[in-house]
Amino acid sequence: MYKYDGLVIYQHHDDEGVIEVVEQKGIRSLHFGSSSRQSSIAVNDPESLQLPYTRAMTSWLLFKDAVDDVLMVGLGGGSLVRHLLYYFPHCRLRAIEYRASVAKVARSHFGLPLDSRLKVIIEDGAHYVRQQSQTLEKQYSLIMVDAFDVDGLAPAIATLAFFDACKNLLKSDGLLVVNLWATDATIFSACVQWLNQVFDHKLLLLPVRNRGNIVAVAFNKANSAYNLKELKGRAVELEQRYQIEFPKLLKDFIKHNPYTLQTVISK
């Protein structure tokens, strides 16, 4: 069966809806009953990041050399988890996925590895983060939030309490990276307001070119100001190392944050 301009190689229904895996010209993608791709991999190069928004979510590398403990809220096909496992051999990852069926597909069709550094937990991500923040603090150097359903950003994620709990779980120099959905203006504006409130306006927004996603990068209090000249040189080095368009990402950070850039980047 063909759908979304590709061959459907897997289809399943769980309590949350449909899960489909579609392959087209060597690119395998995860769909939740719509044409929007939740995750994609190149079958012959699975560690590369195919979707523009996933590459934008690696923009944290402009500001941090490496990570040790990472929390991923929303697993999907696992492309971001695979990327971290592949390039950072010393990092430890905890991925929270609401749908057990999605985690199974990440293993069976997207090659999510069985790795002692990775623990996948089936639970509501927002509930997990809030619960953990009550007993733990300064646990993670990086938290990445990519929790979507067929309608957009999961409602439980878009709350002040969730972002506040994320901050409690971050180390003093930690970063929070959130994939936001800009097409719902009310929810998007509220999330930006809450992130600014929680992180004392140390927030940069990165619109994904020609997409509805905007990636938010929030900096915890111990992050110092970054030098723009040094960041430009770093972006070139990162592009060569990871084959990701870091100079363009940095250019877009500068373009779309004219009033808040100075809270993070010094000239």
Which active-site residues does the annotation give? 146
Whole-Å CA distances, 234 to 66, 176, 220, 229:
13, 20, 21, 9
Q: Which H or E run includes 20?
A: strand 17-24
d(CA 253, CA 172): 23
The runs of H, that is alpha helices, within the chain are 52-57, 79-87, 100-108, 125-135, 160-169, 185-198, 228-242, 246-256
d(CA 85, CA 80): 9
For residues 254 and 261, is the Cβ–Cβ distance under 8 A? yes
